[in-house]
């Protein structure tokens, strides 16, 4: 057998694979999840609304209405689904829209549910149309019609289901068809977290990891986490790694800053891809506007990656704008990169607005 290189071995000599690393990362994330609504930090409005739905169902000794959770990735939709099952004292079944390819796949899942179970469907907007139709019939009437055979000899067999609760999660609620969306009795939208909530989350996670973290370091991690708990916990683990390998084993401000510099996360939470997009937009295209495909090619990424991974945060931070003619950098983008815009640069604003560059030259980008 070929000898393993040092890069393939862990500290104990065991081989480390990409699958093992991914599993370890998911396991670490799962260990930090809150177990109840009382432990869940942030999202005050959704938390209070959801608590009312669950407590009413518990007092009636019945099933909760179907629940739809929407919002960007990493804000706690899966965690809330687990909390729903825990608060109801029910079993949780997890699946996702892309995993259910055919109506028969969904029928098999539904037929295995027991009374009161919670079925969590992640990325529910990605269900196939026949699957959607079967699901909203099951959600309303707790039955499905299973077609056996093909052609003239095909027969439809009605299958009665025990009452259950569907918790759907989506990052794009607008893609859900109205008949499916209307079957949900409660819809909660999760927003990005405030820095103080993320600081509380990071502090709690550090305690669970048995990692000593001071308040300033927790705040620094929170401000660089893009308003997302998943990212905050991930950065916390990287700070812990740096403190263990290069520091004293505890997380102070120096350890946090040094670790985040190693992983190329700047003071506003921008990572390598974010800065590459901004720099290409400013230095190669004069601040834009430039088309998405051209911008993606310039940074060596797929257009979908730029549009779905980097762009939402950059737009939210006011660093780029999406215009009818393409993506354009704002004055703040040039400032963040430490660059000086070309003389007479006209910066984009809201449609119909007038922009003025630092030298006082104005212009109109939109008609």
pLDDT value of position 130 = 84
Q: What is this structure's pTM?
A: 0.78
pLDDT value of position 230 = 92
- 198, pLDDT greater than 90: yes
- On whether the CB atoms of residues 284 and 339 are closer than 8 A, the answer is no
Q: Which residues of 247-265 are buried (b: 16+ CB within 10 A; e: fewer)?
A: beeebbeebbbebbeeeeb
Which domains are assigned to the chain?
A: 26-189 (3.40.50.300), 195-262 (1.10.8.60), 272-340 (1.10.10.10)
β 320-323/165-170 pair status: unpaired
CB atoms within 10 A of CB 1: 3
- 46, pLDDT greater than 80: yes
As a whole number of angstroms, the distance between CA 202 and CA 337 comes to: 28
Q: Which two tokens stand for residue 147?
A: 């077609």
pLDDT value of position 305 = 87
pLDDT band at 361 (very low <50, low <70, confident <90, very high): very low
Q: pLDDT of 236-270, one tens digit each? A: 999 998 888 887 777 888 888 888 888 888 888 88
Measured CA to CA in angstroms, residue 354 lies from 332, 350, 367 at distances of 16, 8, 10
The arithmetic mean of pLDDT across residues 57-86, rounded, is 88
The arithmetic mean of pLDDT across residues 325-343, rounded, is 83
Q: pLDDT of 3-43, one tens digit each? A: 444 434 343 344 444 445 455 556 666 678 888 888 898 88
Please provide the average confidence, as pLDDT, over all residues in the chain: 80
- Cβ within 8 Å of residue 146, ≥6 positions away: 104, 107, 156, 157, 158, 159
Catalytic residues: 77-78, 122, 171, 230
Q: What DSSP character marks residue 76?
A: S
- On whether the CB atoms of residues 169 and 54 are closer than 8 A, the answer is no
pLDDT value of position 149 = 57
Distance of CA 228 to the CA centre of its chain: 8
- Cβ within 8 Å of residue 28, ≥6 positions away: 233, 237
pLDDT value of position 201 = 92
- On whether the CB atoms of residues 282 and 329 are closer than 8 A, the answer is yes
The residue with tokens 């028969």 is 104
The arithmetic mean of pLDDT across residues 36-54, rounded, is 89
Q: pLDDT of 99-122, one tens digit each? A: 888 888 888 888 888 888 899 999
The C-alpha angle 122, 123, 124, rounded to 5 degrees, equals 90
Q: What DSSP character marks residue 329?
A: E
Q: Which residue has the higher pLDDT, 153 or 113?
A: 113
DSSP 132-170: HHHHHHHHHHSEEEEEESSGGG-EEEEEE----EEEEEE
Q: pLDDT of 74-99, one tens digit each? A: 898 999 999 999 888 888 999 888 88
- 367, pLDDT greater than 50: no
Measured CA to CA in angstroms, residue 8 lies from 15, 18, 21, 74 at distances of 6, 10, 12, 30
């Amino acid at each position: 057998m070929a000898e393993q290189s040092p890069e393939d071995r862990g500290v104990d000599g065991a081989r480390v694979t990409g699958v093992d690393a991914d599993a370890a990362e998911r396991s670490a994330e799962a260990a930090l999840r809150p177990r109840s609504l009382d432990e869940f930090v942030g999202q005050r409005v959704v938390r209070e609304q959801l608590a009312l739905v669950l407590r009413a169902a518990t007092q009636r000794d019945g099933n909760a209405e179907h629940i739809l959770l929407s919002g960007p990735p990493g804000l706690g939709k899966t965690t809330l689904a687990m909390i729903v099952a825990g608060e109801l004292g029910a079993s949780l079944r997890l699946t996702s829209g892309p995993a259910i390819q055919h109506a028969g796949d969904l029928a098999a899942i539904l037929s295995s549910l027991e009374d009161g179970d919670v079925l969590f469907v992640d990325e529910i907007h990605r269900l196939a149309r026949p699957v959607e139709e079967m699901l909203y019939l099951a959600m309303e009437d707790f039955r499905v019609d299973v077609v056996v055979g093909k052609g003239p000899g095909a027969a439809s067999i009605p299958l009665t289901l025990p009452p259950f609760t569907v918790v759907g999660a989506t990052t794009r609620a607008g893609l859900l068809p109205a008949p499916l969306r209307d079957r949900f009795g409660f819809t909660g939208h999760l927003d990005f977290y405030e820095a103080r909530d993320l600081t509380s989350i990071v502090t709690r996670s550090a305690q669970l990891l048995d990692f000593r973290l001071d308040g300033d370091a927790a705040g620094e991690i929170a401000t660089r986490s893009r308003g997302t708990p998943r990212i905050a916990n991930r950065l916390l683990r990287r700070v812990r790694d740096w403190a263990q390998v290069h520091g004293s084993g505890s997380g102070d401000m120096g350890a946090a800053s040094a670790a985040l510099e190693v992983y190329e996360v700047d003071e506003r939470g921008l990572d390598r891809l974010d800065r590459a997009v901004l720099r290409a937009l400013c230095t190669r295209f004069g601040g834009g506007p430039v088309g998405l495909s051209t911008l993606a090619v310039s940074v060596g990424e797929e257009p979908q990656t730029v549009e779905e991974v980097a762009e939402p945060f950059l737009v939210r931070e006011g660093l780029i704008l999406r215009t009818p003619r393409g993506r354009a950098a704002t004055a703040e983008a040039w400032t963040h990169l430490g660059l000086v815009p070309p003389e007479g640069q006209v910066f984009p604003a809201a449609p119909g607005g007038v922009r003025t560059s630092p030298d006082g030259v104005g212009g109109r980008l939109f008609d």
